[in-house]
Amino acid sequence: MRAVVIREHGGPETLRLEEVPTPRPGPGEVVLRVRAVALNNLDVWTRAGSPGGRPIFPWGDRKLPAITGVDAAGTVEKVGEGVGGWTRGDRAVVNPMLWCGECEFCLAGEQSMCVDYHIWGEHVPGGMADYALVPARNLLRLPDGVPFERAASAPACYTTAWRGLITVGRLRAGKDLLVVGASGGVGTAAVVIGRYAGARVFALVGNEEKARKATGLGATSIDRTEFPSFSERVRALTGLGVHLAADPVGASTWPETIRSLRPGGRMVICGATGGERPDIDIREIYQRHRQILGAPMGNIGDFQAVMDLVFRVEITPVVHAVMPLSEIREAHRIFEAREHFGKIVLVPD
């Protein structure tokens, strides 16, 4: 089979589409024929190396060579021993969380808090290939009529956004939501989910074209190039500030995001693409009764809830482009240059 193999850190030119052995399923596993796979920050970080030279996770970086691809959908090709309920040709989408199932957090239903938490496509080979090996418990049945490209665009980013806004952030209709970095995968997911929840959504983006697209999703757009101190613009539009802010960017936006919160407001965080060590005044948090809440990925319930909405077309993931897998270098270039608005999805040629 063909797979995108990362053998060294560097730019998109280091990516290679190679012939590698097709995996065979072990007990409890299936081989998925990949029909669509979406690009994420994790793909770029594995290729380029961790931001700031530090591991992304406490257990260190993924070892090279690597086959990434966190978000994938396809059809079951082979099933391993002990796998029930799945047969060749069944349509499925992958839940990328890997958990032990035995620790106190797993037993409480919080798989993304697992003491041995890993990510499929980041720490084990994923979906940037013709075929991928997947634990059968990580498959969710994909209804007929749901395009593979739509399904593959949702798992990681939309589960993360759902966890942050709904489960942790308790966003409800009539509340004000600020989405920072609203053009990326998690950002566009937060805009879509925020609108679905009935919130008034303010989308912070980096240029006029992205502002136009965010407005098309029903958000009030704020162009950061026009309003570098964007908290002033948020307060001008809301009066006291927003009830909830979603900030997947990190150090470069945290100070202004915190100032955008009304007294008692909450900020949910799930990433640090703009740096992981912000310079903040903690008095702006405790003196105004604000809260900062970590919300990376989500549990099985979060995944199933948001995917069900995708299946029923109650929310529609934003897709920037669908490209052939052979154009993986160009896909990485677009992603790393932040030229995209929404997800970049690749399909095997």
pLDDT tens track for 298-325: 999 999 999 999 999 999 999 999 999 9
Are 237 and 284 in a shared domain?
yes
pLDDT band of residue 56 (cuts 50, 70, 90) is very low
Are 260 and 240 in a shared domain?
yes
274 inside domain: yes
Are 99 and 65 in a shared domain?
yes
Tell me the residue range of the domain where 195 lies. 158-294
**Which backbone phi and psi does 258 adopt, to 5 degrees?**
-60, -40
Note the pLDDT of residue 50: 67
Say yes or no to pLDDT of 222 above 60.
yes
Note the pLDDT of residue 125: 96
Residue 82: Cβ within 10 Å count: 10
Note the pLDDT of residue 61: 54
> Which of 259, 278, 294 is the last residue before a domain boundary?
294
> Which of 279, 294, 309 is the last residue before a domain boundary?
294
310 inside domain: no
Residue 233 belongs to domain with CATH number: 3.90.180.10
Please name the residues in contact with 157: beta carbons below 8 A apart, sequence gap of 6 or more: 40, 71, 184, 185, 186, 188, 189, 317, 343
313 inside domain: no
117 inside domain: yes
> Which carries the bigger pLDDT value, residue 331 or residue 272?
331
Are 141 and 9 in a shared domain?
yes
Are 243 and 197 in a shared domain?
yes
Q: How far from 64 is each of 9, 46, 124, 216, 278, CA to CA, in Å? A: 9, 8, 11, 41, 30
Note the pLDDT of residue 58: 45
Say yes or no to pLDDT of 149 above 80.
yes
The answer to pTM > 0.75 is yes
Are 28 and 132 in a shared domain?
yes
As a whole number, mean pLDDT of residues 85-110 equals: 97
Are 85 and 225 in a shared domain?
no
279 inside domain: yes
Are 86 and 165 in a shared domain?
no
As a whole number, mean pLDDT of residues 172-194 equals: 97
Are 162 and 142 in a shared domain?
no
Nearest-angstrom CA–CA distance, 38 and 33: 15
Please name the residues in contact with 101: beta carbons below 8 A apart, sequence gap of 6 or more: none
Q: What is the mean pLDDT of the chain?
A: 95
Say yes or no to pLDDT of 289 above 80.
yes
Note the pLDDT of residue 209: 97
Are 85 and 30 in a shared domain?
yes
Q: What percent of the chain has pLDDT over 90?
A: 93
211 inside domain: yes
Say yes or no to pLDDT of 233 above 90.
yes
Q: Residue 266 in contact with residue 291, Cβ under 8 Å?
A: yes
Nearest-angstrom CA–CA distance, 232 and 228: 9
3-state SS assignment for residue 234: helix
187 inside domain: yes
Say yes or no to pLDDT of 155 above 90.
yes
Note the pLDDT of residue 63: 80
Over the stretch 109-147, which tens digit does the pLDDT of each residue have?
999 999 999 999 999 999 999 999 999 999 999 999 999
Are 94 and 163 in a shared domain?
no
At 90, list the tokens: 């069944």
Are 175 and 132 in a shared domain?
no
267 inside domain: yes
Instruction: Count structural domains, the chain.
Output: 2
Looking only at the bridges linking them, the beta strands covering 261-269 and 291-294 are parallel
Helices (H), 197-338: 208-216, 230-238, 254-259, 283-286, 300-311, 328-336
